[in-house]
Amino acid sequence: MNTINEMKLSFLSRSNNESFARVAVAAFFAQLDPTVDEMADIKTAVSEAVTNSIVHGYREKIGVIYIHAKILEDRTISIKIRDNGCGIDDIKQAMEPMFTTCQTGERAGLGFAVMQSFMDRVFYSAKSAFVHKPAAVISSSRRAGSVTSMDVLNKHLSISEMPIVTSNYWNEVHGHTPSDVEQDREGLDTMYALGKNMAWMLKCIEAGKKAGIEVPQNKKRTTNFIR
């Protein structure tokens, strides 16, 4: 998907910078003229992610937090927030509501749960922007434990009729820094295979269009069954 506009931010992990990050990202996406609810969701998601980096990533230390925001085609947005903090040893546990590593009792442990609920809403309410677009989930972690995150993210692709591109192993790389990842030869081979498979998938779709193969139009009926 082509990038229409993008911006990058970096700032120190001080608590008073959380509001700055929230407002800055919201101001960038204001050019899309989002609804009040959409803007509130963006601000909350950024706030939760930045707060996690400050409180749990760097804890008592001061480090740098990075934000990379993009506006893509079809009013699709991308927000990446990262830090070089201590990492998460057990992602599955960290995503449980009410779980927190904070020892002071001042944190509710709802950050991941809130961000995941927003992801659910985005992929469900804006499904038309994602349908039939090939996608791949990639995770990067300091050590092991990112497979659970991949399962959660793949769920969003599957409910949006997106062809999921895979590799010859789980789509993950390991390392604390980009230079560490460059030493993960197995992970790099996995990414290389994933890139080739994605290119092949895109070529197949394009060839299908030229051959007159129509995109399936699917309907969904709602029932009262509990799934």
Determine how β-strand 139-141 pairs with β-strand 172-174: parallel
Quick: pLDDT tens for 179-210.
Answer: 888 899 999 999 999 999 999 999 999 999 99
Q: Which amino acid is at 214?
A: E
CB contact at 8 A, 6 and 70: yes
Strand (E) positions, the chain? 3-12, 64-72, 77-83, 139-141, 172-174
What confidence tier does 25 reach under pLDDT thresholds 50, 70, 90? Answer: very high
Averaged pLDDT, 137-161: 77
Q: Which residues belong to the active site?
A: 48, 52, 107
pLDDT score for 112? 63
- CA pair distance 162, 167, nearest whole angstrom: 16
Contacts of 210 (CB under 8 A, 6+ apart): none
What pTM was estimated for this model as a whole? 0.55
Least confident of 91-105, 153-167, 187-201: 91-105
User: Tokens 């789980």 identify what position?
Assistant: 170
**Other C-beta atoms lying within 10 Å of the C-beta of residue 159:** 12
CB contact at 8 A, 87 and 141: yes
Which helix (H) or strand (E) segment holds residue 78: the answer is strand 77-83
CB contact at 8 A, 87 and 142: yes
> Helix, strand or coil for residue 81?
strand
Closest CA to 77 of 116, 134, 135, 38: 38
pLDDT score for 7? 95
